[in-house]
Amino acid sequence: MLSFRQLVCFVLSLLSFISVFYSVGKLGIFLATPIRPLQHQATPAFPTERTQLRAALFSLLLNSIWVVLFVLQHSAMRADLVKRFWKAIGLELAERSLYNIASSYCLLLLLKNWKSSASQYRLWFFDVEENKTLWWVMVGAHVLSWIVVYGGSLMVDLPELIGLKHVYYDINDLAPPMSYKSRDLQDYYQRYRHPSFVGLSIVLWFTNGMTIDRCVLAVVWTLYMYLAWNTTKVDLKYQQHQLERKRAELARVTK
């Protein structure tokens, strides 16, 4: 029979699963939605009047706050102090779930409160409504990138990443799931848990209309991914070794 702690952690793991897929789905729609052309002018000039400039800067400031908030939450909740806090209150089993729930909530806050004027200055703009080929290229690139991201998530043990496996192993009196992985894989996961830097960069930068606030979002998150995912040459050798093992196994099976 489940203990109260296990029941709470199980509910949190389910909430983590739902919130991650919902928030990432909303993000995918937000990033892939094309920007419509302006009715009065092809490319708006940068605002020079004080009122227009003030409104543009205020909107940019608010959007930047939500972007930075997501980065701060993503980093702060990985600290040892936070992990010790969850352990002190008996929720160390739900640490991964709570991290995902908080990340999803910050992401949904960003999407809900994102303020971008239709007449905002654009660094570039391509009318995809007039060019169907370009529209399909953009949609195809986003769909393919998210397939790579989700596929990579499955490869790095999605149930463990979401937090479901922690609860399942605890209910069955097993050791934490990470303890069953090799030391090399554990070290690799400590430095890199998010899949496909290239795929996420594409969905951030490949847009038909790049506004200043959207550019801030792309720059901050791209730099954060580049700095936070500090993989090493050892990680590359480990991946190459695993790829060679998989190829050898497939070769034996197909014979």
Residue 26 domain flag? yes
Query: Quick one: DSSP state of residue 43?
Result: S
In Å, how far are 23, 91, 95 from 170, measured between CA atoms?
27, 12, 13
Query: pLDDT tens-digit profile of 188-232?
Result: 777 666 767 888 899 999 998 888 889 999 999 999 888 877 666
Residue 106 lies in a domain: yes
Residue 182 belongs to a domain: yes
Cα separation of 194 and 147, whole Å? Answer: 14
Which secondary structure element, helix H or strand E, spans residue 158, and what is its range? helix 158-162
- Burial of residue 116 (CB within 10 Å: 0-12, 13-18, 19+) is middle
Question: Which pLDDT tens digit goes with each residue over 8-37?
Answer: 888 999 999 999 999 999 999 999 988 877
Dihedral (Cα; 6, 8, 13, 19), 10-degree rounding:
180
Q: How many CA atoms lie within 13 A of 236 on its CB side?
A: 4
Does 43 map to a domain?
A: no
* Spatial CA neighbour of 103 closest among 186, 29, 21, 170: 21
Where in the sequence is the domain holding 151, given as residue range(s)?
Answer: 4-32+48-116+128-254
Position 37 in a domain: no
For 113, the enclosing helix (H) or strand (E) is: helix 95-113
Q: pTM for the complete prediction?
A: 0.84
pLDDT of residue 184: 72
Q: Measuring CA to CA, which residue among 53, 52, 103 is closest to residue 76?
A: 103
**DSSP symbol at 126:** -
Q: Based on the structure, what is the number of domains in the chain?
A: 1
Could you tell me if residue 40 is inside a domain? no
CA distance 159 to 192: 16
pLDDT tens digits along 101-141: 999 999 999 999 998 765 677 888 888 888 888 889 999 99
The one-character DSSP state at 140 is H
Q: Which helix (H) or strand (E) holds 238?
A: helix 233-254
| pLDDT score recorded for residue 61 | 86
- 161 lies in a domain? yes
In terms of Cα–Cα distance, which of 123, 143, 105, 107 is closest to 214?
123
- Distance between CA 23 and CA 4 in Å, rounded? 28
Distance set, CA 197 to CA 133, 222, 232 (Å): 26, 8, 15
Residue 148 domain flag: yes
Residue range 47-90, pLDDT digits in tens: 666 776 677 777 888 899 999 999 999 888 888 888 889 888 88
